[in-house]
């Protein structure tokens, strides 16, 4: 069933688990993600990154097919525009049929972030579309530009931001980074940031850059108030590794077979994170 993030995140918030959000950029990854969720009877979010939609295949080609998958799924599926950095692009995404959008205006500073986010919330509410925003800044593993303490979310500003904007969910920075973590490296989380914001606002909070954060870190973050966990790099790596292994074993394997096997690899990785998130068998809870 195709739904907005609000209904599923509200349920997760009430029942102390998190919904997994998987970054997908093609039909195979979206299909694998929904298959994984159906087998685990878990609600799921398909994140379509604005950057991917601009660089690879445009939303008008990808979105209708993914919506069809969501509508026919046996579990609740939301489709969320991830890291929408352009107000105009986010507004177009609402009109295009996304059930949820993320407006990422953190780079503009607090006042401008509030202003832009309020405009998006107002437009989205008229279409029953949920809105995620961001406070703080996320680093990236690429170039070793990992998240530093001075990039962490200021809890007091986040609390004020939530009260001023009335967002559905807020992505916060407390130690994770985008990308594939270096081998044997586990980021250190500042869990007090989650605790302070959750205690004051009680809204769903979001962990971005979930790949490689470690099971203990993620589970503790969820226990303190994280209700959406974004994972992209580990799933894409599983797909890339599948292609590499298949090519090593049989260089002339047909492309159709290569892509089909990446679906299996992605599905397994998604299911492992569904288990960590605690959302297994939560699709039936209303």
Using CA atoms, how far apart are residues 121 and 124, in angstroms rounded to an integer? 5
Predicted local distance difference test score (pLDDT) of residue 138: 66
Q: Which residue has the tokens 């809105």?
A: 131
Largest CA distance in the chain: 58
Tokens encoding 262: 């990446």
Contacts of 28 (CB under 8 A, 6+ apart): 239, 259, 262, 263, 266
* pLDDT of 194 over the 80 cut: yes
Using CA atoms, how far apart are residues 169 and 120, in angstroms rounded to an integer? 13
Predicted local distance difference test score (pLDDT) of residue 146: 57
Predicted local distance difference test score (pLDDT) of residue 186: 65
Q: Are 241 and 265 in contact (CB under 8 A)?
A: yes
* pLDDT of 258 over the 60 cut: yes
- Tens-place pLDDT, residues 274-286: 999 999 999 976 5
Q: Please give the mean pLDDT across all residues of the chain.
A: 91
Top pLDDT among 272 and 175 is at 272
- Tens-place pLDDT, residues 112-159: 999 999 999 999 999 999 999 999 776 565 556 655 656 688 999 999
Strand positions, DSSP E, the chain: 19-23, 44-49, 77-84, 100-103, 130-135, 139-140, 169-172, 177-178, 205-207, 226-231
Predicted local distance difference test score (pLDDT) of residue 57: 85
Q: Are 187 and 148 in contact (CB under 8 A)?
A: no
SS3 230: strand
Q: Are 167 and 121 in contact (CB under 8 A)?
A: yes
- Residues noted as catalytic: 82
Predicted local distance difference test score (pLDDT) of residue 123: 97
Predicted local distance difference test score (pLDDT) of residue 189: 86
Using CA atoms, how far apart are residues 171 and 221, in angstroms rounded to an integer? 13
Predicted local distance difference test score (pLDDT) of residue 149: 59
Task: Report the percent of the chain where pLDDT is more than 70.
Answer: 90
Predicted local distance difference test score (pLDDT) of residue 188: 81
Top pLDDT among 172 and 146 is at 172
Closest CA to 189 of 225, 143, 235, 156: 225
Q: β-pairing, 77-84 with 177-178?
A: unpaired
- Tens-place pLDDT, residues 47-83: 999 999 999 889 999 999 999 999 999 999 999 999 9
Q: Report the range of poorest mean pLDDT among 77-91, 129-143, 203-217.
A: 129-143
CATH code for 5-277?
Answer: 3.20.20.70
* pLDDT of 36 over the 90 cut: yes
Task: Report the percent of the chain where pLDDT is more than 90.
Answer: 77
Q: Exposure of 68 by Cβ count < 10 A (0-12 exposed, 13-18 middle, 19+ buried)? A: exposed
Using CA atoms, how far apart are residues 204 and 100, in angstroms rounded to an integer? 14
Q: Are 195 and 153 in contact (CB under 8 A)?
A: no
* pLDDT of 26 over the 90 cut: no
Top pLDDT among 38 and 212 is at 38
């Amino acid at each position: 069933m195709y739904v907005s993030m609000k209904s599923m995140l509200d349920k997760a918030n009430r029942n102390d688990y998190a919904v997994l959000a998987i970054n997908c950029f093609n039909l195979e990854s979206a299909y694998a993600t929904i298959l994984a969720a159906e087998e685990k009877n878990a609600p799921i979010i398909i994140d379509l990154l604005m950057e991917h939609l601009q660089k690879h295949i445009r939303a008008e080609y990808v979105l209708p097919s993914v919506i069809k998958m969501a509508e026919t799924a046996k579990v609740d599926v939301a489709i969320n525009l991830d890291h929408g950095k352009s107000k105009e692009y986010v507004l177009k995404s609402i009109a295009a049929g996304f059930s949820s959008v993320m407006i990422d205006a953190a780079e503009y500073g607090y006042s401008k972030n509030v202003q832009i986010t309020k405009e998006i919330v107002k437009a989205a509410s008229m279409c029953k579309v949920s809105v995620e925003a961001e406070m703080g800044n996320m680093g990236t593993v690429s170039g070793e530009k990992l998240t530093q303490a001075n990039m962490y979310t200021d809890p007091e500003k986040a609390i004020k931001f939530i009260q001023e904007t009335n967002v559905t969910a807020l992505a916060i920075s407390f130690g994770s980074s985008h990308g594939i973590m270096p081998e044997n490296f586990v980021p250190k989380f500042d869990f007090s940031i989650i605790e302070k914001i959750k205690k004051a606002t009680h809204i769903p909070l979001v962990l971005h850059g979930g790949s490689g954060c470690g099971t203990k870190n993620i589970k503790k973050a969820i226990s303190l108030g994280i209700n959406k966990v974004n994972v992209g790099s580990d799933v894409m790596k599983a797909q890339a590794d599948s292609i590499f292994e298949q090519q090593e074993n049989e260089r002339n394997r047909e492309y159709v077979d290569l892509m089909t096997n990446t679906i299996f690899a992605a599905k397994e990785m998604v299911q492992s994170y569904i288990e960590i998130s605690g959302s297994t068998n939560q699709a039936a809870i209303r």
